[in-house]
Amino acid sequence: MQKSREFTVNVWKFLALLAGKEVYSGNTRYQVAPYNHSQKIAKYHMASEETIKDAIDSAMEARKAWERTPHEHRAAIFQKVADLITGKYRIQSLAATMVGQAKTAFEADIDCIQELADFYRFGNHYAKELYEGPELHQPRGVINRLTYRGLEGFVAAISPFNFTAIGGNLAGTPAIVGNVVLWKPASTAILSCYLVHKIFQEAGVPDGVVNFLPSSGQTFGDAITSSPHLAGINFTGSVGTFRYIWKKVAENIDIYRTYPRLIGECGGKNFHFVHESADVESVVNSTIRSAFGYGGQKCSACSRMYVPESKWEEIKEGLVEKHKELKLGSPADFDTFVSAVIDDKSYSNIKDYIDYAKNSPDLSIVAGGKCDDSVGYFIEPTIIETKKPDDRLMDEEIFGPVLTVYVYQDQKCSETLNWLIRLLHLL
């Protein structure tokens, strides 16, 4: 048996960073490797509400000079950020994402290197188009000038664990167009996001423009929504959290100097709808990759599938055969297809769904279903067949390596599809 590779990881120790200053709160937490939860990889200090308010002051102090910095200068800084990510810090960024978020080398490279660098390069490109704008034709002697300014306040960036690129994008892209940012990364992606922030500093992002603030969700949410300087929220995460933030903004609407812009991306329940004319090999391969890539911890993951009865046995056989090839293990092993889920809460939530399937007369496990958190938070990719198209497994976002399949009668293809369309409109 081939010996598993291991990462050698020193525990990083870091803290809140505002206006380039390090802040020690004394309220410390650890980030662990999901595939080996006894391995601590980062120790960090949680920002208090007072620290967050200080960060708001620092951001507001930096705002005027940063907004007035010529776009070409800001673009040059973020071009350097992209170059550092794809060059000097490529391996370090990969390691931080692989260890901290249990991504395979393949998944991590797409995420924290290619996609993140593209966010800044595309951001620069479209910002340039925005600033240059269309040519304004006016009569002789008439000058018509359009100036784009940053928001009159700060942007709060609240980023998820599943993509280092999303963290860097939510925090960095607003700064390209002259905004100042308070960044609260997910506690399970602290290490990779901290590295991104350090790259910001090395590239020349001025102190106070992007402030890195590990914090609890409620502490951060309450602090930003109670500030009159809140101008925008850039959010990716759960529906419940975004609703809480939205309610807090609404409750405080009278205190703001401007109307905060709220941008929220809150997951989904993606599906494959298979027609009787579909190519089985294509269905099997695309579904396996979509459902189980990064353990299904993506809003784009295929979480449910609708299959015609005439094709089901052939598709099921193909899924089961491919399932046997999927290696579950450490991201340090380059033949691992899927590693551990992100943390104990996610593990318990996904396991509850699988246990529900095992005990329901309307559901049957086609493949997988094993769960083990003794070393890491490992959940075997699981395929489930349901008799009910409206079962909770077909409706609720699981955010894990679980695919639920409903088999419909061929003659009811249009009826099933129309039912699904109506359901989507309700959602």
Which sequence positions are flagged as catalytic? 265
* DSSP code per residue over 293-323: GGGG-STTSEEEEEEEHHHHHHHHHHHHHHH
Exposure string over 362-378, b if 16+ CB within 10 A, otherwise e: ebeebbbbebebeebbb
Residues contacting 167, CB < 8 A, separation 6+? 157, 159, 160, 183, 185, 186, 189, 192, 193, 196
Residues contacting 232, CB < 8 A, separation 6+? 151, 153, 154, 155, 156, 174, 179, 260, 261, 262, 263
Cβ–Cβ under 8 Å, residues 350 and 365: no
**In this structure, which amino acid lies at residue 235?**
F
Residues contacting 133, CB < 8 A, separation 6+? 146
Cβ–Cβ under 8 Å, residues 275 and 417: no
Tokens, residue 23: 């802040």
Residues contacting 382, CB < 8 A, separation 6+? 354, 357, 365, 367, 368, 369, 401, 402, 403
Helix axes 90-101, 164-176, angle to 10 degrees: 130
Cβ–Cβ under 8 Å, residues 151 and 261: yes
Cα distances from 380 to residues 98, 101, 155, 320, in angstroms, run: 19, 17, 39, 13
Cα distances from 233 to residues 160, 245, 263, in angstroms, run: 14, 9, 6
* DSSP code per residue over 32-77: EETTEEEEEEEEEEPPPHHHHHHHHHHHHHHHHHHHHS-HHHHHHH
- Residue (of 169, 6, 3, 201) closest to 95 by Cα position: 6
Residues contacting 385, CB < 8 A, separation 6+? 316, 363, 364, 366, 404, 405, 406, 407
